[in-house]
Structure formats: C-alpha cells, structure tokens
C-alpha cells in the first residue's frame, strides 16, 4: 500500500522551479568529492566544514544591503560559537550578540570592544551581568525586575537596552496578528518598557537602545519591515514621553535560510529598502536620523556555509530502507528535535536521479535520530560520503553527549581552499574528564591494559 503511494508521488508532475533550486542546492557545494576525499584521509568523518569565503561574501551582502544606514549585525554567537568563525564575522564588521558567560569569554578573547558586544540574556545569573559590565557590553534587559538585580550585582551601566515583547500588539499593516509573542518568555510588555526606561533615566542613564526579537527562521522579508515600523513607532513615543534619546534600534535576528530546495532566501535588498522607507518617514523625519540600525542574525550568517560530512556505514532493509551514517543527532540535532529538513547531497552522485527512498539515520538509541525520513536520494552504497547542508548554525553548537556520543571536529575551508581544523573531535577522554570515580578520575582514562582490567572487573 505504502509502496504504491510512493510510486504515485514520484509520478506527480515535476515543478521546474524546484528542479532548478535542487540543482542549485546540489551544485552550490564549495568543495568537490575529490577534495572531501583528501580531507577525510586526514580528518575522519563525521565533521563539520565551514566555507570561509561563503561566510565573508554573505556578511558583505548584508552590510551592502544596509549601506544607507549606520548599520551593524551582531552575530548571535550561539549559532556557531567557534572563535575562528566569530573572528571572520568580526573582520567583516560584525559585532557579537552573547547570551552566556562562555559566549562573553569568546568575545573577550577576540578582543571585541564592549560597544560591539550586545548581551541579550534571560533568566540571567549574577556573574554573567558582572562579566558583561566588566567588558562594557551593551546590556539588553529581558525584564523590568532585572533593573534591580543588575544594580545589586553589577551596577548601572551608562548605556542600556530593553527587549520588547509586543504580545498581542504585534500586527501586520492589515491588522493580522503575526506569530504569538505572548507565548514567549522573553521581553517586557509595553507598559513595563516605558517604566523601565523611566527608571533607568532617573538613575542617570543617558544612552538608550531598543530591541526586540520576534522572528525566527523567517523567510518573508516583510516581517522585518513590520518589526522596524513597530520599533520606530515606540522610539518616537518613548522619546517624547520620557524625554530620552535613543542611539540604536535592534531589530533582532531571525532572518531565515532556505533549508528546502523549494524555498528562496530572504530578499535582503527589498527588506532593507522597506526599512529605509520607514526610517526616513518615522525617524529621519523627526530629527532622529542619527539612530543606528542593529540586527543580531546568527542562522543566516553561518547556516548555509556549514556542512556536516558523514559516511554511510550501513544499509538496512526491513520495513523501510535505511542508510546508517557515522554522524548522529549529537552532531546535528535539528532534524531529530524539530523534524527540520536538511538537504542531503551524496557526493559524486549529484547528477544521478533521486529514485531511492531512504531514512538516513544515526546510531543513537532514539528513533528520532534520523537526518532524513522518506527522502528520495540517489542509490547510496556503504562508503558513500554524504554532505548534510545548512549545518553551519545550530549544528555543532547544539551538540550533546547523550548515549555516550562525542562531538565532531570543525574544519574551516579557507579562502584558498586550504583546510584548517578549528576544533578537534571529542575523545572518550573528554567524555570521562569530569567524572569523579571512587575519589579519583575514572579508570577508563588509564592506559589500555588497566582499562581492560577495569572492564573485566574483579571477577573478570
Ligand atoms: C537566537 C537569537 C538570535 C539569533 O537568531 P537567528 O535565528 O539565529 O538569527 C538573536 N538574538 C537573540 C536574543 C537570540 O536568542
């Protein structure tokens, strides 16, 4: 029954647009099968590989789109928290958006000046506010009660930003509510926002920013224009009511990427043009043309330029056709966690018909450890190398150790195609390193002989 259904699916007329995009998806790999084979000879799969040139060109495209503005993207470090990657973006004019102590430490290690670090946290522990203050980062408060908390633990900074959550006030031009920000734990209500700026003004703060982050993986550029309009409107209202001056408006991140072949990338120029219109009308027209435009995209900055490279190590034919690869959910959690689509290319088989339906699976004892379900791919043989696309954001970053799985290496493909390992793969020693076993380190760390003895146990 199921088989028949698949057959009819295959026979549905081919959408030429999808075919075109599929071709793009297949051919936009920054490396050849041969190159990857020589990389694998040195660095075994699985690994993540990032395309430096792609990251740079893309960052330049975003900056160019906003050339009319005093614009800066603050790369959301959580997307790809590897200092070698963050540095590339910093070299391209990005600041950083950090939300934890280790992310702040990455910014510090890279010598990023405080005025280029946004600290956007929630449920924040005291030491993180302290570190952010010490670095002179722009602190973006998530709640009105954090004013007191910040003052108590770190003091009042000279510049402050608040994160706005519009709740049900979030509307499009034609009055439709977008998404459901009222379900999100982040940000202040409108009433709290006014109160927050008033309190900070009265505490002597002179420099202000306004922030929101309500889009995620959004592919419709108009959503960002709506966000800009909403924030510009608030800036006007707050400036007037409280007599304070805003230095920047941070539209948040959330620019989506076309994970699926039939999707299109966000039209950055159209987005920017629309925001420019609102800027001219609302801010410039009211003597606020000096206000900087910030964004804090993570996904779109690195996502499309990272690939998870993995080798097919098993094929299995039961009720379905399975390809078992040497990567698993610990290397890329999005498909298992959200059912997210990640395009897959079988290297060297780009031109072959996608006429075999597979579940591409990892080795975790979780049935959702599948990189693809019911996916049409060229016939895969054991030993074939697969590139899983769009793994450059929230890929390695979301790694975990459940089931004793180890995080993979990260490689950087430099502008001249040279390969640099920017993070080694975890070893079992790393996995055991934090254990305290009978008052000392776990015996699994010992040399092979002792290790074997331990495994056998006393009665071994
Ligand atoms: C995750 C996050 C971002 C980045 O979102 P992307 O979808 O990766 O662009 C920006 N700001 C905040 C506060 C975030 O939590």
Tens digits of residue pLDDT in 26-63: 567 999 999 999 999 999 999 999 999 999 999 999 99
pTM attached to this predicted model:
0.91
Q: What is the pLDDT of residue 454?
A: 46
Give the binding-site residues of ligand 1, using a 6 Å CB cut-off. 76, 78-79, 97, 120, 213, 216-217, 252-255, 296-299, 393
Q: Are 326 and 45 in contact (CB under 8 A)?
A: yes
Tokens 């071709």: give the residue.
23
Closest ligand 1 atom, CA of 215? 7
* DSSP code of residue 424: P
Q: What is the pLDDT of residue 18?
A: 61
Q: Are 231 and 225 in contact (CB under 8 A)?
A: no
Domain definitions of the chain by residue range = 2-49+306-449, 52-303
Pocket test for ligand 1, best of 128, 252, 334 (most atoms within 8 A of CB): 252
Q: What is the pLDDT of residue 182?
A: 80
What is the CA(319)–ligand 1 centre distance, in A? 40
Find, among 393, 399, 360, the residue nearest to 376 by Cα.
360
What is the CA(275)–ligand 1 centre distance, in A? 19
Query: 372 CB contacts (<8 Å, ≥6 apart)?
Result: 335, 341, 342, 344, 358, 359, 360
Closest ligand 1 atom, CA of 394? 8
What is the CA(253)–ligand 1 centre distance, in A? 5
Closest ligand 1 atom, CA of 255? 9
Find, among 130, 150, 76, 129, the residue nearest to 106 by Cα.
76
Q: Are 210 and 161 in contact (CB under 8 A)?
A: yes
Q: What is the pLDDT of residue 439?
A: 82
From 80, 98, 161, 365, active-site residue: 365
Residue 18 host element (H or E): helix 16-27
Q: What is the pLDDT of residue 11?
A: 44
What is the CA(78)–ligand 1 centre distance, in A? 8
CA atoms lying within 13 Å on the CB side of residue 84 = 15
Q: What is the pLDDT of residue 1?
A: 39
Q: What is the pLDDT of residue 183?
A: 80
Q: What is the pLDDT of residue 179?
A: 61
d(CA 297, CA 73): 7
Closest ligand 1 atom, CA of 211? 13
Closest ligand 1 atom, CA of 253? 9
- Output the residue whose Cα is nearest ligand 1's atom 7: 254
Q: What is the pLDDT of residue 13?
A: 52
The reply to whether CATH 3.20.20.10 applies to domain 52-303 is yes
What is the CA(274)–ligand 1 centre distance, in A? 21
d(CA 48, CA 410): 5
What is the CA(252)–ligand 1 centre distance, in A? 7
Pairing outcome for strands 138-141 and 321-325: unpaired
d(CA 75, CA 229): 22
Tell me, yes or no, if 365 is annotated catalytic.
Answer: yes
Domain made up of 2-49+306-449: CATH architecture: Beta Barrel (2.40)
d(CA 326, CA 40): 13
* β partners of residue 440: 437
Pocket test for ligand 1, best of 78, 224, 397 (most atoms within 8 A of CB): 78
Pocket test for ligand 1, best of 95, 179, 215, 253 (most atoms within 8 A of CB): 253
Q: Are 232 and 282 in contact (CB under 8 A)?
A: yes
Residues in the chain predicted with pLDDT less than 50, given as ranges, are 1-12, 173, 450-460
* β partners of residue 207: 159
Q: Are 86 and 264 in contact (CB under 8 A)?
A: no
């Amino acid at each position: 029954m199921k088989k028949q259904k698949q057959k009819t699916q295959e026979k549905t007329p081919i959408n030429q647009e999808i075919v075109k995009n599929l071709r793009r998806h297949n051919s936009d790999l920054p490396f050849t099968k041969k190159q990857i084979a020589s990389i694998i000879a040195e660095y075994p799969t699985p690994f993540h590989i990032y395309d430096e040139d792609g990251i740079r060109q893309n960052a330049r495209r975003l900056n160019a789109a906003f050339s009319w503005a005093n614009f800066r993207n603050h790369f959301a470090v959580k997307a790809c928290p590897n200092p070698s990657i963050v540095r590339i973006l910093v070299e391209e004019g990005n600041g950083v958006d950090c939300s934890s102590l280790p992310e702040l430490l990455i910014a510090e290690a890279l010598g990023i000046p405080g005025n280029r670090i946004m600290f956007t946290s929630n449920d924040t522990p005291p030491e993180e506010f302290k570190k952010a203050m010490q670095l002179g980062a722009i602190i973006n408060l998530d709640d009105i009660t954090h004013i007191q908390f910040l003052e108590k633990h770190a003091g009042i900074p000279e510049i402050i930003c608040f994160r706005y959550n519009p709740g049900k006030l979030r509307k499009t031009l034609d009055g439709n509510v977008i998404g459901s920000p009222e379900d999100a734990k982040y940000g202040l209500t409108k009433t709290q926002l006014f109160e927050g700026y008033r309190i900070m003004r009265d505490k002597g703060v002179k420099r202000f920013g306004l922030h929101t982050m309500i889009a995620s993986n959004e592919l419709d550029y108009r959503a960002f224009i709506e966000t800009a309009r909403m924030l510009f409107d608030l800036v006007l209202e707050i400036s007037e009511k409280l007599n304070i001056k805003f230095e920047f408006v941070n539209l948040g991140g959330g620019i989506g990427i076309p994970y699926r072949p039939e999707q299109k990338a966000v039209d950055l120029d159209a987005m920017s043009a629309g925001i420019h219109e609102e800027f001219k009308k609302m801010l410039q027209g009211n003597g606020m043309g000096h206000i900087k435009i910030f964004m804090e995209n993570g996904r779109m900055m690195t996502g499309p330029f990272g690939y998870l490279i993995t080798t097919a190590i098993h094929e299995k034919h039961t009720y379905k056709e399975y390809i078992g690869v040497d990567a698993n959910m610990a290397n890329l959690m999005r498909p298992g966690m959200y059912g997210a689509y990640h395009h897959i290319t079988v290297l060297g088989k780009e031109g072959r018909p996608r006429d075999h339906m597979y579940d591409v699976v990892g080795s975790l004892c979780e049935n959702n450890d599948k990189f693809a379900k019911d996916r049409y791919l060229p016939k895969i043989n054991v030993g074939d190398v697969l590139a899983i696309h769009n793994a450059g954001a929230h890929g390695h970053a979301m790694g975990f150790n459940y089931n004793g799985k180890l995080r993979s290496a990260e490689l950087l493909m430099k502008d001249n195609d040279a390969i640099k390992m920017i993070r080694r793969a975890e070893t079992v020693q790393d996995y055991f390193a934090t254990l305290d076993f009978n008052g000392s380190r776990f015996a699994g760390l010992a040399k092979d002989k002792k290790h074997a003895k331990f495994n056998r146990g006393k009665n071994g």
